[in-house]
Amino acid sequence: MEQALRQVAPGRFDAYENLLRALADGQVWMLLWLGAAGSPEAQYGNMEVGGYGYAPCVTSPQELAASGWSRAHELISGLEIAASLFPDRWGLWLNPHAPGGGVGIPWLDLRRIAAGLDRLPAGPLALSDPAVPLPQYYALLSQHAHRTPAVRALRRAWVQPALGEPYLAIGLDMYDASPGAVESVRAMMQQSVAALPAGLPVSTVAMADEYDPVAMWMRVHALPFYDRDAHAAAASPVPAPAPAPGAGAWGWGPPARRR
């Protein structure tokens, strides 16, 4: 991990990704502000950088000695600390005592470590509305969504990861996240693939995921291109108002037909 840490520099996303892999496979020494390792009262130290919270740690016994930390510490795996911190939107700061101030790992990247680095795109992400016109795909996907009761709405975004190819993200807003519902949505996506241009990658994002950066962006910036509730409201006829007493002869509809 320390070798990977030395390679990190502004713009070196490949080196930063190597650091995340080393952290996922390694362990860190968490600096405890209160309590002892393993005790229910133990609390990590904390620091704020750029308005975001981080828990400080060191990467080896040598760095622990160099830090001058005089309180307790806790040895924990990178996977465990990532899973512990990211749900509360806390990041991890490696070796804050080092020359230059060490390196911070934001909570979004801790989420990637906890979920699996290969399963989530490498940030920072450039997000925008899709520029590629895909009317047939969106129309077919909307048709299949209408026949899939678990789907409430669909959104879209174009995602450019820091590393890797850009892709189209489809945001899934679902009424139900049971295994059967998830399987029906998977089938819906598969049935619509034929309308995509060859080689265009597509990924799905659960809109209910409060930690996913693509879902967060779509909730703010992307209107649904399919909305079941709006479709139902548009399809429902508006009932005519009841005539006022004594005004039956002054209706605004077509004339009554003589029987």
CATH of the domain at 39: 3.40.1350.90
Asked whether residue 247 carries a pLDDT value surpassing 60, the answer given is: no
Instruction: State yes or no: pLDDT of 85 exceeds 80.
Output: yes
Residue 254 has pLDDT above 50, yes or no: no
**58: nearest Cα among 99, 24, 30:** 30
* 251 confidence band (pLDDT: 50, 70, 90): very low
Answer whether residue 248 is part of any domain. Answer: no
Residue 253 covered by a domain: no
Q: Which of 150-154, 160-164, 233-237 has the lowest mean pLDDT?
A: 233-237
Question: What is the gyration radius of the CA atoms in the chain, in angstroms?
Answer: 27
Q: Which band of pLDDT confidence, cut at 50, 70 and 90, is reported for residue 40?
A: confident
pTM: 0.82
pLDDT of residue 178: 93
Which pLDDT score, from 0 to 100, does residue 258 have? 31
Confidence band of 41 (pLDDT split at 50, 70, 90) = confident
Percentage, residues of the chain above pLDDT 90: 81
Give, as one character, the DSSP assignment of residue 244. P
Q: What is the DSSP letter of 99?
A: T
Q: In terms of residue numbers, what domain contains 155?
A: 126-234
Is 259 inside a domain boundary?
no
- pLDDT-derived band at 230 (thresholds 50, 70, 90) equals confident
Please state, in angstroms and rounded to a whole number, the distance separating the CA atoms of residues 124 and 144: 33
What pLDDT score was predicted for residue 220?
97
Q: Determine, yes or no, domain membership for 33.
A: yes
Q: Which two tokens stand for residue 103?
A: 């390196």
| CA-based max dimension of the chain | 100
**Residue located via tokens 């005519």:** 240
What's the rounded Cα separation, in Å, for the pair 82 and 121?
17
d(CA 185, CA 256): 49
Give 26-83 as a DSSP string.
Answer: SEEEEEEEES-TT-TT-EE--EEETTEEEEEEESSHHHHHHHT--S-EEEEEHHHHHH
Question: With the CA atoms of 76, 79, 84 and 86 taken in that order, what torsion angle do they form, in degrees rounded to the nearest 10?
Answer: 140
Average pLDDT, the chain: 89
37 vs 57, higher pLDDT: 57
Same-domain pairing of 85 and 7: yes
Residue-wise pLDDT for 1-23, tens only, equals 999 999 999 889 999 999 999 99
User: What is the share, in percent, of the chain residues with pLDDT greater than 70?
Assistant: 89
Q: Is 225 left (phi over 0), alpha (psi -120 to 50) or beta?
A: alpha
pLDDT at 252: 30
| In-domain check, residue 243 | no
The CATH number given to whatever domain includes residue 186 is 3.30.70.1350
CB 4 within 8 A of CB 15: yes
Residues 45 and 92 in one domain: yes
Which residues touch 52 (CB under 8 Å, ≥6 apart)? 89, 91, 106, 107
Specify the DSSP class assigned to residue 11.
Answer: T
- Say yes or no: 83 and 110 in one domain: yes
* The pLDDT of residue 109 is above 50: yes
Query: What pLDDT is stored for residue 240 in this prediction?
Result: 46
- Mean pLDDT of the region 234-255: 43
For 13-42, letters b (16+ CB in 10 Å) and e give eeebbbbbebbbebbbbbbbeeeeeeeeeb
Q: What is the b/e burial string over 87-123, where b = at least 16 CB atoms within 10 angstroms of the residue's CB?
A: eeebbbbbbbebeeebbbbbbbbbbbbbeebeebbbb
Domain total for the chain? Answer: 2
